Structure 1
Amino acid sequence: MSSFTKTQRHALKFHGEGGKYFVIWLVNIFLSIITLGIYSAWAKVRTYRYFYGNTELSGDRFDYHARPLQILIGRIIAFVGIVIFYICSMASETLTMLIVAVFVLLLPWIIVRSWRFNAIMSSYRGVRFNYICRLGRAYWIFLGFPLVCFIGLILAFGVARFLASGLTEFILALVFFIPAFITFNGVSTALSYDLYVNNLFFGDAAFKGEMKKGAFVKMAFKSALIVVPVLLIAGAILGKMIYSIALMSAFGGAEEAASMMILSHYGSIILVYVLMLFGSMVAAAWLIVAHRNYVANQTTLNNGAIRLYSSMKFTSYLGLLFTNALIVIFSLGIASPFAHVRHARYVLETLEVEGDLDSLTVHAHSEHAPGAVTEELVQALDINVGF
């Protein structure tokens, strides 16, 4: 139970407006097009500064300090690297595999450098954040641990195939490999959050948070269970069609007949696709809310002097995602700035900070951010490592 009183809890406020951001978004797109993408670096900085600058905590706002030219240089280098990779992929398969192997080996370093860049480029009350991490720990979490788990699963699968076959093998896969994969996902997520939170600083004050693996595993299983009813409904809808196609395949049925059967159930296939999409959205929304609330409520700053508190609700967040999706779809993407602002407002205004911020004593660091190349690689390749 927190020892802080209610008067010491500070809610974040977001002052951004959909209309104002729409103008920024529109200008960014127009200038990026006419400059053949060169202005996109300025567009990114302008967008970040808008969202940071409109986020208020206890009367003060956040700042974003990256320079557009810095982003542009990083973006050009990342783009040239990707182009070289595609050229090499067409020239030699061996060279392609070598480049991929090198990239995978560099991935933990890229992620850590990206986190460090974004931290140092962010500030509050004139004090910049920082991220200092032992690279060996990052390599274990992003490469070593997944590799060990993968080898373990392969060995277990080999044993299962040796001991069983056919239906028994399928049942073993259901009762062992699916839970094992969910458990791996939960543990891996816990390790990633631990790596991020416990190496993050505000000035010289360290963030701390106990990320229990068991809690993340439970969240992973609960999220997976949300999808189970959807899978059962989908199976009931398509069961007859799948059974008929399987019989045709077993007895050498004509491909034309199978194709006609699929076409005759086209409506059912579309319905199942929509159901699966909705089920995935629900499960993802639940997991996002569970992760955010748990991580925030476990996180402290400056030896517990400051605590975070998140109060996101699953139903309200799911409703936000659903209405935002409708806004973007029916406006053909034109109203996406309004959806972005609605999302930012909800996520920020469900986060509070407990503690006396005015008496918090921290010292600003003088460290410089790494180049923006790794950040742009993360963005360009859509590597989902942001928290």
Structure 2
Amino acid sequence: MQQVYTPPPKGGLLSFPKLKFTGNGGSYFGILIVNALLCAITLGIYYPWARAKKLEFLYSSTELEDSPFVFSGTGYEMFKGFIKAVGILAVFFIIEALLARAMLIPVAAVVYLAFILLIVPFAIHGAMRYRWSRTSWRGIRFGYRGNRGELMKLFVKEFFLTIITAGIYGSWMLMNLRNYIIGNIRFGSGEFKYKGDGWEFFVLNIKGYFLTIITLGIYGFWWQANMFRYYIDNMTLSNNGKTFTFRSTATGGQFAGLILLNLLIVVFTLGIGFAWAEVRTFKFVCDHIEIEGDVVLDELQQTEEEYTNAMGDDLADALDLNLV
């Protein structure tokens, strides 16, 4: 879908772009229930089209400066990727089953570790390339310029450092991966950057962990708000020497209200209210992200190529990977 960008009028008060989620629970519920029924009728074959329908709704309901984002991926593209992803996973599980039946447990463990080390960065890279290539706003396409080999080397190094430190290095691993991945995302000619620090994130989580235990779980809402703030506040977008900075305004009390009410909605509707709970979450996220800076959005140029191979995205979905 090509959208026409109308520049804002010159002069007047300085205003910053705003994110807004306009979707409603009723429409989202309709999409989810139809998707579920068609997936059941087709024994899961419809799943790629179901994902495409869901993403189309979520993207079109998310607006920046009153213009919606567009997801142009198709169910057919995702279906082709889905078949490839299922084939790869099926071969892996068959090999693991054969090794286990032959009592070659150490070999099965080595194969499992090698698979994780290879498939996770492969899936992340492919998912980033496909999903961002199929995302646009006012006709300007997003893109991902990371190198698969570089990401694999980074992931293997960070993974082993996390293993040999009994998980302590996990905060550095997550931040280094986010720095690399987000640093390679483009919004047309605009470049995203992320400057997360492993030590800061480690301290944030250690504090959150112990305070959550001491307060019998109550501090967990503030812990989540602090993590959300750290994810958002360290991100910038630059173009032509100008920069946007992102800032979270969400508090622990607001997170508590969101999560507890969502839980009540889902429980007391026996799960039917899940769509409304998700919509409340999307709206909450958009309402609590502020964008400040001097980037002029109409100066963004189309620079990113299309990429239609959805296998990485389907693998990431199957492995439940969500780094960004």
Q: TM-score, normalised by structure 2?
A: 0.84
Q: Which of 359, 362, 372 is 2:300 aligned to?
A: 362
Structure (1 or 2) with the greater helix fraction = 1
- Long gaps (5+) in structure 2: 1-11
Q: Does 1:123 align with 2:136?
A: yes
- Long gaps (5+) in structure 1: 154-176, 231-274
- Partner deviation per Cα, 1:88-142 (whole Å, 9 max, x = no partner): 3332235744642442231222212212222111111111111112445423442
Tell me what 2:4 maps to. none
Count of residue pairs the alignment pairs up? 305
Q: Does 1:293 align with 2:229?
A: yes
Contact 1:73 1:372 in 2 (8 A): yes
- Partner deviation per Cα, 1:285-330 (whole Å, 9 max, x = no partner): 4444223323322322124432222211121112211221222223
- Structure 2 Cα separation of the partners of residues 91 and 189 of structure 1: 34
Q: How does 1:274-285 map to 2 (within 5 A)?
A: 279=217, 283=220, 285=221
Q: Does 1:59 align with 2:66?
A: yes
Q: Which of 206, 210, 232 is 1:225 aligned to?
A: 210
Query: Identity across aligned pairs (percent)?
Result: 28
- Structure 2 Cα separation of the partners of residues 116 and 9 of structure 1: 28
Contact 1:189 1:216 in 2 (8 A): no
Tell me what 2:7 maps to. none
- Structure 2 Cα separation of the partners of residues 19 and 100 of structure 1: 42
Cα 1:228–1:202 shift into 2, 3 Å: same
Cα deviation, residue 17, structure 1: 0.6
Contact 1:133 1:199 in 2 (8 A): yes
- Structure 2 Cα separation of the partners of residues 366 and 185 of structure 1: 32
Tell me what 1:342 maps to. 280
- Structure 1 Cα separation of the partners of residues 113 and 146 of structure 2: 23
- Structure 2 Cα separation of the partners of residues 89 and 196 of structure 1: 31
Q: Does 1:12 align with 2:24?
A: no
- Structure 2 Cα separation of the partners of residues 98 and 369 of structure 1: 33
Q: How does 1:203-282 map to 2 (within 5 A)?
A: 203-229=188-214, 279=217
- Structure 2 Cα separation of the partners of residues 21 and 364 of structure 1: 31
Q: How does 1:189-208 map to 2 (within 5 A)?
A: 189-208=174-193
- Structure 2 Cα separation of the partners of residues 136 and 323 of structure 1: 44
* 3-state secondary structure, aligned to 1:9: coil
Contact 1:186 1:218 in 2 (8 A): no
Tell me what 1:234 maps to. none
Q: Does 1:25 align with 2:32?
A: yes
Between structure 1 and structure 2, the one with the greater Rg is: 1
Task: Give the alignment's Cα RMSD to 1 decimal.
Answer: 2.5
Q: Does 1:68 align with 2:75?
A: yes
Cα 1:288–1:311 shift into 2, 3 Å: same
Cα 1:356–1:61 shift into 2, 3 Å: farther
Cα deviation, residue 80, structure 1: 2.8
Q: Does 1:186 align with 2:171?
A: yes
Contact 2:117 2:155 in 1 (8 A): no
Q: Which of 78, 86, 93 is 1:79 aligned to?
A: 86
Tell me what 1:326 maps to. 264
- Structure 2 Cα separation of the partners of residues 362 and 63 of structure 1: 16
Tell me what 1:311 maps to. 249
Cα deviation, residue 50, structure 1: 0.7
